């Protein structure tokens, strides 16, 4: 259980560091503008799904308890969800720090729905 917790924490740390790096390197802005060199969402989805499937397959051979399989499944889902939500959190902090830049690119940003075109 200790090893699993360490691996879970390291996965969260690695995913957060990757998201910060992608955010500040301009990758997210290029993706929003449509400049796609590589489809990152497919890669991220496949790696997360592969992680979950690998955990379940390996656990089914080495773990005899269904309860342990359920715990591993919940941890896997939490790790993928946390990686997804960390992206949104970093985008939120970027927008809060650079609100003027965002309004230059998207003039409707922050306007009430009635005033947007």
Question: How confident is residue 97, by pLDDT bands cut at 50, 70 and 90?
Answer: very high
Taking the C-alpha atoms of residue 81 and residue 84, their distance in angstroms, rounded to an integer, is 5
Higher pLDDT: 35 or 98? It is 98
Q: Which residues contact 4 (CB under 8 A, 6 or more apart)?
A: 72, 75
43-71 pLDDT, tens digit per residue, is 777 887 888 788 777 777 776 777 777 78
Domain extent listing, the chain: 2-115
The tokens for 78 are: 């939490």
Q: CB of 75 within 8 A of CB of 4? A: yes
pLDDT of amino acid 52: 74
């Amino acid at each position: 259980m200790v090893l699993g917790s360490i691996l879970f924490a390291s996965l969260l740390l690695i995913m957060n560091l990757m998201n910060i790096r992608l955010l500040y390197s301009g990758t997210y802005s290029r993706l929003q503008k449509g400049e796609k060199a590589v489809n990152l969402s497919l890669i991220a989805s496949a790696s997360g799904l592969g992680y979950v499937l690998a955990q379940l397959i390996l656990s089914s051979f080495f773990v005899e308890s269904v309860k342990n399989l359920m715990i591993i499944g919940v941890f896997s889902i939490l790790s993928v969800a946390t990686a997804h939500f960390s992206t949104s959190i970093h985008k939120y902090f970027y927008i809060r720090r650079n609100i003027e830049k965002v309004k230059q690119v998207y003039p409707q940003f922050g306007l009430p729905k009635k005033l947007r075109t």
